[in-house]
Amino acid sequence: MIPGPFEYHSPTSLAEAIDLLGQYGDEAKLLAGGHSLIPLMKLRLAQPAHLVDLNSVPGLDYIHEEQGHLRIGALTREVDVEYNALILDRYPLIADTARVVGDPLVRNMATLGGNLAHGDPANDHPATMLALRATVAIQGPNGERVEPVDDLFVGLLTTILEPDEILTEIRIPVPPPRSSGTYIKLERKVGDYAIAAVAVQITLSPDNSVVQAGIGLTAVGLTPIRAAAAERFLIGKQLDKAVLQEAGERAAAAADPSIDLRGSAEYKRAMVAELTQRALMKAAARVMSNGS
Ligand SMILES: Cc1cc2nc3c(=O)[nH]c(=O)nc-3n(C[C@H](O)[C@H](O)[C@H](O)COP(=O)(O)OP(=O)(O)OC[C@H]3O[C@@H](n4cnc5c(N)ncnc54)[C@H](O)[C@@H]3O)c2cc1C
């Protein structure tokens, strides 16, 4: 299908992009990788009169650690996250997530900022950023605000971003020693959106009890979900069979899945319980093998 008519804008600075968004308000949409927005426009589910393309705005594409945080520019492509040496070495949860987003064609274009800003609970990075307790930097006409990723998602395809605001950076606290994580996604076929997926990030003490736990759930609610009760339950415990099972059950209880072609609510909850246990075991094995 062919999108409706729109005027195309290509600002060369963040200030110009924010100005354009302010000028056209609800009539405008930001364009990043285009891999969520353009399909919606082709289906005429989105019909913005103005497209404000972020791709000529410099300085939004980077991955580095600074002041205790991993900082990822919003325009960083999935492919650059997937193969980044720092991420592969110290943030395996993010690497695991990037490599299961769509297919290589999607990952060449899709951006991390777009994956979060779209507010789709079936997207993979939101749960991961919940598990990592990330914050997002948002620029608007009144300057920058920094918000916990927990507060970003308010409903299906709905975030706290105002029409004239741009998500510019994702900030992830540098994990303490003996931390690791993983993302496990159940999909109908390679490249598909998740039936359900679980992101886990843990820190273990020298005797292998859990010091910190982050658990995020994908595609089992109207927003990505933090499995807070499971996280709390894990603190101070060693990951034996009973603890894993209880954590899985608590994570499943946090899920609120809908019934669709990917399965019943009961099935998806059962998958969350199972994936949570597997992810906890894999994350713990990673800590014990190399500490990251
Ligand atoms: C075939 C296919 C398979 C896919 N499979 C998966 C999958 O398995 N997992 C997955 O997670 N995703 C999947 N995607 C979605 C893909 O990852 C998207 O590209 C991503 O969700 C959005 O990123 P984008 O850069 O393409 O954003 P765009 O499509 O350009 O924008 C999406 C929305 O976010 C807004 N936006 C973008 N950037 C910003 C910003 N910096 N600040 C404020 N608002 C912004 C736009 O205005 C728009 O409303 C798939 C897409 C396709 C086409």
Q: What percent of the chain has pLDDT over 70?
A: 99
Both tokens assigned to 90? 């110290």
19: Cα separation from own chain's centroid: 27
Atom of ligand 1 nearest to the CA of 187: 8
H runs (alpha helix) in 132-240? 149-152, 228-234
Closest C-alpha to ligand 1, atom 47:
30
Among protein residues, the one whose CA lies closest to atom 4 of ligand 1: 102
Average pLDDT over every residue of 265-289? 97
Q: Phi and psi (nearest 5°) for 289?
A: -80, -40
**22 CB burial (10 A radius; 0-12, 13-18, 19+):** middle
Q: Which two tokens stand for residue 59?
A: 């300085």
The best mutation among 106, 156, 168, 195 to test binding of ligand 1, ranked by most ligand atoms within 8 Å of the C-beta, falls on: 106
CATH class given for the domain over 63-173 = alpha beta
SS3 140: strand
What average pLDDT does the segment 42-69 reach? 97
Query: In CATH, which of 3.40.50.300, 3.40.50.720, 3.30.43.10, 3.40.50.2000 is domain 7-54?
Result: 3.30.43.10
For ligand 1, the distance from its centroid to the CA atom of residue 113, given in whole angstroms, is 8
Q: How many helices (H) and strands (E) does the chain have?
A: 12, 14
CA distance 199 to 184: 7
Longest CA–CA span in the chain (Å) reads 62
Q: What is the DSSP letter of 27?
A: G
pTM above 0.95, yes or no: yes
- Given a cut of 50, whether residue 291 has pLDDT beyond it is no
- Name residues contacting ligand 1 (CB within 6 A): 29-37, 39, 74, 101-102, 106, 110-111, 113-115, 117-118, 123-124, 161, 166-167, 193
Domain spanning 179-290 has what CATH number?
3.30.390.50
Residue 292 has pLDDT above 50, yes or no: no
Q: How far is the CA of 33 from the centre of ligand 1 (A)?
A: 6
Which residues, other chains included, contact 100 with Cβ-Cβ below 8 Å and sequence gap of 6+?
124, 183, 185, 187, 197
Break the chain into its structural domains and give their ranges. Answer: 7-54, 63-173, 179-290
Q: What is the mean pLDDT of the chain?
A: 97
